[in-house]
A and B are shown apart, each in its own frame.
Chain A
Amino acid sequence: MKKERGVYILFLLVAILLISMISAGILDKIKTITGKAESPVPQNISITVVGVHPVVIEYIENIAPQQPTEADTPSPKTVIFEIRVTDPDGVADIDDSSVKAWFEKLGETSKPKVLCSPNGNIDTDTNSYLCSINMNYFDANEDWQIRAEASDFGNKTLIEDVLSVFFTYQELKAMTNSQPSLTWPNLVPGETNKTANNDPAIITNTGNYEGNVKITAYDLIGVDLTPFPANRFTIGETEGGECNAPATAKQMSDSATTIVATTLGGGTANSLYYCITTIPLVPTQSYSTTTSWRVVYDATP
């Protein structure tokens, strides 16, 4: 009796085994019988293995203080620096097209994100990238933060740096003066409100500093050394208002007089108009400056 039961069990096991073989495609195999000779069919198999870990921006290069370039001439200041991105799943998982950098500063418009260029491997899970960002002459001085972001193929999370790396953009006090010399038509003593015939002198801020333009005037000296007093001159910012001190013009003297306050921005300019309010009774001759008037860009009001 026991022997019969053993045979049944053995038979059952063999039957289960056969069923699994048939279901694994024996009928399919029969269907493929066409009578033709069988030939191998090549198959390309490609697989992509992606990682699960997010990237880490592990390094941003410390940049030395940078100098603005006056009026971006011949070009804006290009700041080049390195960043390194690590992915525990290996460098192949880092998405190069996602590695970007930018500069930001509180109260200022951030510099747009730029794509960084691959710069080789540091090791099996870290890539180096070079980033290049232009700074304009009118960008604010002091510290700018260097920011970076990157992503990968597997985790896909866009990761921003948490490194707090800053660089200093230095102060540039610069200006252009379109008219470094002034002339007047022939003058007669006693005449009033005679304006220069080659103004305005246009002062353009070509740096990243907002300050005051001050002018120090000196007496003109005649051929026979007769002085022509500096305090007969006035300067205004509007044409027609340059003779009307103190309402719309400033009277000159041999101490620095604030004329205008400049502002930042590409090509921000102020026009200056010059006037002699009263021609003094002086001898007929040419008068000129023996000491140049000083147009000074100063911090103090």
Chain B
Amino acid sequence: MKNKTNLMFGIVFAVLTISFISAAGIVSPYWESYPLEMHFGETKVAEFTLQNTVGTEDITVKAEIKEGQNIATLEKDTYTAKAGTADTKIPVTITIPKNFDKSVQQVKLEVRTITPDQGGMITLGAGWTTSFNVILSEKPVEKNTLIWMIFALIIALIILILIILFLVYKRR
């Protein structure tokens, strides 16, 4: 009972953390109103950039695909940005299968700092979620392919006419 009346609640390391400011940001190449356009069977890499220009400490973040795991993958799940840098890349590889059955797929990436254990208090880690749509369409037929297709159709038409003429001639 005595234990429950004299609660000591951690204040031990407060002074150590006063001067530390948590700061970072992430730059997205695509976002809610700026979608990525892709074709079926295509692969693209969307490079997100971790910035740590304001903070005075290196930061390590954990990245995770929260939506769109069926098309999006990460090379690894932790990235470190040194203090004063703005160029730590987090590449997300997006591969659309040829038989993919959607025309729009949302991809959501969550990045959060991995806060070192400071003990005896509540620690607050920063994080960002960023999401964008991948809009899918059939690959447009290339000009060369189109020319060959027309050429093949003409040849087929000529052969068909010749066969018909041959049959008509044979009947007579």
Contact = CB atoms under 8 A, between A and B. Distances in A.
A295 interface: yes
Interface stretch (A18-26, A64-72, A155-163, A242-250): A64-72
B25 A293 contact: no
A69 B9 contact: no
A293 B118 CA distance: 13
Contact of B126 (A69, A141, A177, A182): A177
B100 interface: no
A170 B28 contact: yes
Contact of A180 (B34, B86, B115): B115
Interface in A172-207: 172-189, 197-198, 201, 206-207
Given A288-B120, A289-B121, A173 B130 contact: yes
Interface stretch (B49-57, B69-77, B91-99): B49-57
B129 A296 contact: yes
B167 interface: no
B64 to A, nearest CB: 12
Contact of A220 (B18, B33, B34, B122): B122
A61 interface: no
Contacts of A168: 34
A177 B14 contact: no
B136 interface: no
B34 A286 contact: no
A16 to B, nearest CB: 79
B130 A282 contact: no
Contact of B22 (A69, A176, A298): A176
Contacts of A74: 53, 84
Interface in A76-129: none
B22 A188 contact: no
B118 to A, nearest CB: 6
Chain A binding surface SS class = loop
Contacts of A179: 17, 124
A283 B118 CA distance: 22
Given A70-B54, A293-B123, A296-B127, A170 B3 contact: no
Contact of B112 (A175, A215, A296, A300): A296
B146 interface: no
Contacts of A184: 9-11
B54 A186 contact: no
A206 B54 contact: yes
Interface string B6-18: 1111111110011
B24 interface: yes
A52 to B, nearest CB: 44
B20 A174 contact: no
Contacts of A297: 126-129
Given A69-B86, A70-B53, A198-B14, A279 B7 contact: yes
Q: Which 9 A-B pairs have the closest CB atoms?
A: A174-B25, A292-B125, A176-B23, A296-B127, A180-B22, A286-B10, A187-B9, A73-B53, A177-B22
29 contacts: A70-B24, A71-B53, A73-B54, A74-B53, A141-B31, A142-B33, A170-B28, A171-B34, A171-B130, A174-B54, A175-B25, A176-B22, A177-B126, A179-B124, A180-B22, A180-B115, A186-B8, A187-B7, A188-B5, A282-B4, A283-B3, A284-B4, A284-B7, A285-B8, A287-B10, A292-B113, A292-B115, A296-B128, A297-B127
